[in-house]
Amino acid sequence: MDELYQSQILSLARQVRQSEAIAHPTHLARVKNPVCGDEISLSIKMTGTVIDALHVAVEGCALCEAGAGLLYTQAQGADKATIQSLSDALSAFLRDAEQVSDDNVLAPFTPIKDVKMRHKCVTLAFTAFDKAYQAQ
């Protein structure tokens, strides 16, 4: 279990705790993982299709925070398609036990691949992002 919470995961979890509230978000969502109780509130400020600011509040485990941290660190200046590509890549990476990541962005999640019941924890922030985007 300690391997799941290695330093890179904890570093990503700390990143999301640095996200600051957004005064006038253009997109909002709140999602919950009914299996474990993790909950994410997400607000986005976009100009056109470009993300100007993202705030993620996580009430959950370090793996949920780390997934949210990945989203947070990659979102600034990105567009919906870029975030969707990252979400798809993360989900595929977690599902494929044989896939090795040359991508330093996904590599910290390698130990979680074998713990399928924790995959939703890692991807919950991306679910919230999609929900926020679809609501507008």
pLDDT, position 79 = 95
Q: In angstroms, rounded to a whole number, what is the distance separating the alpha carbons of residues 33 and 103?
A: 27
Residue 135 confidence (pLDDT) above 90? no
Q: Taking Cα atoms as reference points, which of 126, 1, 2 lies closest to residue 64?
A: 126
Question: Per the confidence metrics, is the pTM higher than 0.95?
Answer: no
Q: Which domains are assigned to the chain?
A: 2-135 (3.90.1010.10)
Mean of the pLDDT values across residues 79-99?
A: 91
pLDDT digits (tens, 9 = 90+) for 35-87: 899 999 999 999 988 999 999 999 999 999 999 999 999 999 999 999 999 99
